[in-house]
Amino acid sequence: MRSITTALAALCVLSAAGSARAAVSDVEYLRANRCRGLASGELAAVDTAAMDAFLKAAKRSRASHMVERGRAEMEKAKSQAKTQNEERRARLTAELTGPCQVYKG
Domain count, the chain: 1
User: Out of 13-17, 82-86, 100-104, which region has the weakest mean confidence (pLDDT)?
Assistant: 13-17
Tell me if 12 is assigned to some domain: no
Tell me if 11 is assigned to some domain: no
Tell me if 18 is assigned to some domain: no
Tell me if 52 is assigned to some domain: yes
CB atoms within 10 A of CB 37: 23
Please write the tens of the pLDDT for every residue from 14-64: 443 334 446 899 999 999 999 999 999 888 888 889 999 999 999 999 999
Among candidate residues 63, 52, 73, 76, the one with its CA nearest the CA of residue 25: 63
Tell me if 80 is assigned to some domain: yes
Query: In the chain, what are the helix, strand and coil shares in percent, each to the nearest 5?
Result: 80, 0, 20
Tell me if 45 is assigned to some domain: yes
Domain containing residue 90: 24-104
Tell me if 36 is assigned to some domain: yes
CA distance 8 to 91: 51
